[in-house]
Amino acid sequence: MGSLTQVNYLIFLLILSSFYFGIISVNDTITSTRFIRDPEAIISSNGDFKLGFFSPEKSTNRYVAIWYLSETYIIWIANRDQPLNDSSGVFQIHKDGNLVVMNPQNRIIWSTNVSIIATNTSAQLDDSGNLILRDVSDGKILWDSFTHPADVAVPSMKIAANRLTGEKIAYVSWKSSSDPSSGYFTGSLERLDAPEVFFWFNKTKPYWRTGPWNGRVFLGSPRMLTEYLYGWRFEPNDNGTAYLTYNFENPSMFGVLTITPHGTLKLVEFLNKKIFLELEVDQNKCDFYGTCGPYGSCDNSTLPICSCFEGFKPSNLDEWNRENWTSGCVRNMQLNCDKLNNGSDVQQDGFLEYHNMKVPDFAERSINGDQDKCRADCLANCSCLAYAYDSYIGCMFWSRDLIDLQKFPNGGVDLFIRVPAQLLVVAGGKKEKDYKGLIIGITLAIGALITAVTAYLLWRKFTPKHTGNQPQNLITGDQKQIKLEELPLFEFEMLATATNNFHLANMLGKGGFGPVYKGQLDNGQEIAVKRLSKASGQGLEEFMNEVVVISKLQHRNLVRLLGCCIERDEQMLVYEFMPNKSLDSFLFDPLQRKILDWKKRFNIIEGIARGVLYLHRDSRLRIIHRDLKASNILLDDEMNPKISDFGLARIVRGGDDDEANTKRVVGTYGYMPPEYAMEGIFSEKSDVYSFGVLLLEIVSGRRNTSFYNNEQSLSLVGYAWKLWNEDNIMSIIDPEIHDPMFEKSILRCIHIGLLCVQELTKERPTISTVVLMLISEITHLPPPRQVAFVQKQNCQSSESSQKSQFNSNNDVTISEIQGR
């Protein structure tokens, strides 16, 4: 009897299992008799996708949605603009054959709204995440979610447009992270002759665009080649519809590309269902549509970022000077083409060439011929204002004003802008290489040669001669030699006279290198003279290092080296004079810091960041400063920052993540990251850490080397981190700049500062990312993680003071620490 019972039990389990797996096999489908009620769901047969009800973070509204792996990655929402107020919703096939969302009152709040003759339909969630409504009788697709997207594109989805009907498949952002209703940003395929993706604000105002697709990349998005977007395909068909899709060659990969509520693109890529890439595409001011207006070129590496092309001038100079560039530029001289056709005796127009340019909007395309024919056709057509040639697209030309132009550091196209012949003589070097241009070039070269010879003779006449006994191109010290590459030399007597014999009244300050004096040359130019102290062996090495480094640098946010003196056993460096001295003299002075309003402070922050970016990325050398601090930031007469003191700087070679190690740790307490102070390891992220400290000092008006919160003896970095975690970060802001108008910008800078001072090197952003964070308000900021040097002991420093929360400590400079 027991055996029979066991057999019956096993048979029962087998039947139950068969029944269960039978349910699972159809668990991806909704029919006229099978619906889902909150919180039920259906799952794709591969288990990757689920369709069910969900509520966004910080919301109680309920939505029918499809997600990949978890509700974190919502890829489609049915009733995004008609939420359910409770968990009593139903998703089903209606009697008319449409998919509908029903509320508790049995009213339809959303429908696929397809005109259907057949009422016998079913909806299946397939293995790509597409919800497909079919006619059961013939399998015909009546509707699918991929052609009615929300804010997300996944592999196999299409960005489509029809050139004949004007119909488009548009992607619309969420309104906010907790509200999936239709937001402010829309993405759609446009300009089908040279197709590109446009992103719109409020559906009508262009926000930014990718540039034309050439079969490999979008020409306005050169980062595609190196960063994130690949696998794209453009597929036109005969009925006027064109599709843009993206897929992965590796079937184990999957991607979720989202238009965020603030208008950026966010990409999450999965490998074997695990995240291996997550990033948000950074944007800068130049990416925004038409930042510099018609005929205005935007270059994010310059200040100001907008400029007019040769032969053009600002349309509205007053607005241009206020940095409102949207009115753009207009021609100084009219084109000759129409006059030439009317028989006037004028020269033919020509073209000025500009490299690495974003393709302007409204490109017209011609696939006939090569670049020479492209030029000839444009020149023969008076309405053609510019042309560009891409080997994959062919010839592009413009008959409308050039708008949305941007200069890239690399990538883009060579753009040829039509100008009158008179301008070709003036612009010389940028014009096309034709016969007339060659003659003009030779003429200009001869003129330049005459000018150069004249300038050289005048220089020989008026420049002080070197009178010392050392070779003119050599500095010797501690058996080290440095060759001076075209660095001007000053006579000792000239500098002595300029500084009133190095009088104490002329001394501006003193550092490890030696004293710094203010001077004035005979021509009235004010200078700053750094004089090596004979007692400083460290100073000699710094002197030699500074000559090597800064003689090769030139940037508006770096102090300019005018020359040096190496006579009478003296080593002196001559710099441009900064009338407002250093940042610390303003920032930490209770009276002087009133001068630094938020606009000035932000300009200083951005200028320092751009200077460091130049050192790390854009100069001929790759340089780590190693001693960024407030006293090494000088201010010119307009309070623009200049990074100074390159005595500790190091030239490095290699990739982004290269680290170097030193046994001699030098720098300033409070500004050094832990990996450098304790291990002697330095990298570009060392400067990023120092910049973060400096940023927090600028926002707070407090020194990092002082102590805050008496119970815990926190540095400024630690104090800021404590306030951040207590959601009380507003209290760290300097009262002198505490203005509701700038609150968002100030808080963003604090956030960036905390990202820069994170304990782990890999968590800190690069300086290029920092610059993008500063200039682009829509760039996403990740939450900061544990910062370095959170707590200190009082016994570690004698500089602690209890007299005021704004201690007037001097920077404690480390002359030498042996690293491990």
Q: Which sequence positions are flagged as catalytic? A: 627
Q: Are 755 and 782 contacting, i.e. CB atoms less than 8 angstroms apart?
A: yes
Q: Please tell me what DSSP assigns to residue 225.
A: G
d(CA 342, CA 393): 34
Q: Are 529 and 515 contacting, i.e. CB atoms less than 8 angstroms apart?
A: no
Q: What are phi and psi of 356, to 5 degrees?
A: 55, 45
In the chain, the amino acid numbered 112 is T
In terms of phi and psi (left: phi > 0; alpha: psi -120 to 50; beta: otherwise), the region of 360 is beta
> Which one, of 95, 50, 42, lies nearest residue 73 by Cα?
50
Q: Which two tokens stand for residue 432?
A: 């096309």
Element (H, E) at 228: none
Strand duo 474-477 + 480-483: pairing: antiparallel
Q: Are 257 and 152 contacting, i.e. CB atoms less than 8 angstroms apart?
A: yes
Q: Which residues contact 446 (CB under 8 A, 6 or more apart)?
A: none
Segments in 463-527 forming alpha helices (H): 492-498
> Which one, of 659, 688, 661, 657, lies nearest residue 673 by Cα?
688
In the chain, the amino acid numbered 540 is L
d(CA 5, CA 736): 86
d(CA 773, CA 786): 20
Q: What radius of gyration, in Å, describes the C-alpha atoms of the chain?
A: 33
d(CA 774, CA 408): 19
Angle at 811 between CA 805 and CA 812, to 5 degrees: 115
Strand duo 36-37 + 99-102: pairing: unpaired
Largest CA distance in the chain: 123
d(CA 500, CA 460): 26
